[in-house]
Chains A and B, each alone.
Chain A
């Protein structure tokens, strides 16, 4: 398990997945930094997938969500499956009303489910 922190996010590797813990209120520059770091990490070594953890975030607007969604699509293009974890009821209701684009994205309520989902199929 290894981890490092850039402004606003901490990144940990666990069970072959990159776990990115997001925090609220990142500026565009800060998020660009996060984007860069995550993309580099994904290219560096093969991973089962990436998990974006929102459980520390209480408020998220549609713009911030779209930024993350774009990062998830970039990760998809780099061949890594992304699961978004821990959106609370209020954020889910708001994002559904705001009609954000979630096509092709994957969500889980708990970290455990995300690990299960991203685990490589068992042999035999």
Chain B
């Protein structure tokens, strides 16, 4: 969202900006006292010890706080302003500051600002206008910070998901021309799509002729997953790579038969050992003496 769109969304009109700047004229000379008061409050909070263990850090952060409120009362909501607030969110996400203390802190700031304005003898009517305008901009600030924190959290989750996906499909060449993919855990359609992509890419890269898909670590197979696996074997065949599904447990075999899954021309074996033997035969390492393919042995046959 651009800064203009944000102003529109939070209904901050030019009159609000004027009100904030008018309040700023009163508050800015006392900003240091205001920030100091705010820290007096923060010291009473249990989070204080955790996030401000040393005084150097505190001095630095209170200087930043001062700058923050100067910018706030200048009420120049442009891309720079948005970027500064987004940065605060990134910092909060980084130190994992709990949202409750952030919201409480912003609420406290608002109370202190109003108290200061009242103490300066601002007439009640003008004070109300200022309060409404200041509240709007504080809401916008809070939104930017929290939105950034939420976005960073979402990105982290997505990244973990990707890493998990990456780890869950280790397509590995185990011999000249043979690829192995041991599948473990629960298989869903996202994973089968990932398996398909990675396998086909790997086949193109490694010029493999046999692909062994070991499903001994897979807990259960339903019709959908079985069909997806068959599709993977079909796709590998289109690239000149025969697939062998190994580690078919008795229960999976029974399920597949009961579900009426047609496995077509796909070779299946009960153990990885059998599949590996078949694979070695197919690439010609184990010479059975029939078929022209046995001539295609690896170097040194």
Contacts and interface: CB of A to CB of B under 8 A. Distances in A.
Interface in B145-204: 196-197, 200-201, 203-204
Contact of B238 (A87, A103, A119, A120): A87
Interface in A77-124: 84-85, 87-93, 95-97, 99, 102-103, 107-110, 113, 116-122
A109 B296 contact: no
Contacts of A91: 238
B289 to A, nearest CB: 11
A92 B201 CA distance: 10
A96 B264 CA distance: 13
B235 A96 contact: yes
Chain A contact residues: helix, strand, loop or mixed: mixed
B239 A87 contact: yes
B267 interface: no
B292 A89 contact: no
Contacts of A85: 240
B238 A95 contact: yes
* Contact count band on A: 20 to 34
Interface in B216-243: 231-232, 234-241
Chain B contact residues: helix, strand, loop or mixed: helix
A107 B203 contact: no
Contacts of A117: 292-293
A92 B204 CA distance: 11
Interface in B258-298: 264-265, 292-293, 295-296
Nearest to A108: B240
B207 interface: yes
A53 to B, nearest CB: 12
Interface string A41-54: 00000000000000
Contact of A109 (B231, B234, B235, B239): B239
B292 to A, nearest CB: 6
Contacts of B207: 109-110
Given A89-B200, A102-B237, A108-B240, A96 B295 contact: no
Contacts of A93: 196-197, 200, 235
B209 interface: yes
Contacts of B241: 109
A53 B82 CA distance: 56
B232 A96 contact: yes
A97 B237 contact: no
A107 B240 contact: yes
Interface of A: 84-85, 87-93, 95-97, 99, 102-103, 107-110, 113, 116-122
Interface of B: 196-197, 200-201, 203-204, 207, 209, 231-232, 234-241, 264-265, 292-293, 295-296
8 contacts: A93-B197, A96-B232, A96-B235, A96-B238, A109-B203, A117-B292, A117-B293, A121-B292
Given A88-B239, A93-B200, A116-B292, 10 more contacts: A89-B201, A89-B203, A89-B204, A95-B234, A99-B234, A109-B239, A110-B240, A116-B296, A117-B293, A119-B292
